[in-house]
Amino acid sequence: MPLSSTMIGALLGLGTQMYSNALRKLPYMRHPWEHVVGMGLGAVFVNQLVKWDAQLQEDLDKMLEKAKAANERRYFGCVLLLRSHNAARLSSLKLVEERDEGK
């Protein structure tokens, strides 16, 4: 992937410089050093874009995992708490009933 993104960036920089010369009706390869600079800048730009996209995907995965965990705690945690609360209530009612029956 790094080689292909570098080549795409270099072609982008070269194409931009040649297009700039064509718009100004200059020879395509006028000042060849400008083409080399354009190719270098294009390669750096596309490589940074690929790194940024990978970092963005990693951050998005982390955020989605946190949101999923929060939703599970919010909804499934409440159900478990209610069940345990109701079970405790029922057991205390049974103890009261057994105590009343014993009298």
Residue 54 to residues 39, 49, 58, Cα–Cα distance (Å): 23, 9, 6
What average pLDDT does range 31-60 have in this prediction?
94
Predicted confidence (pLDDT) at residue 70 exceeds the cutoff of 90: no
> What does the pLDDT read at residue 29?
85
Give the range among 24-28, 53-57, 77-81 with minimum mean pLDDT.
77-81
End-to-end CA separation in angstroms for the chain: 82
pTM (predicted TM-score): 0.61
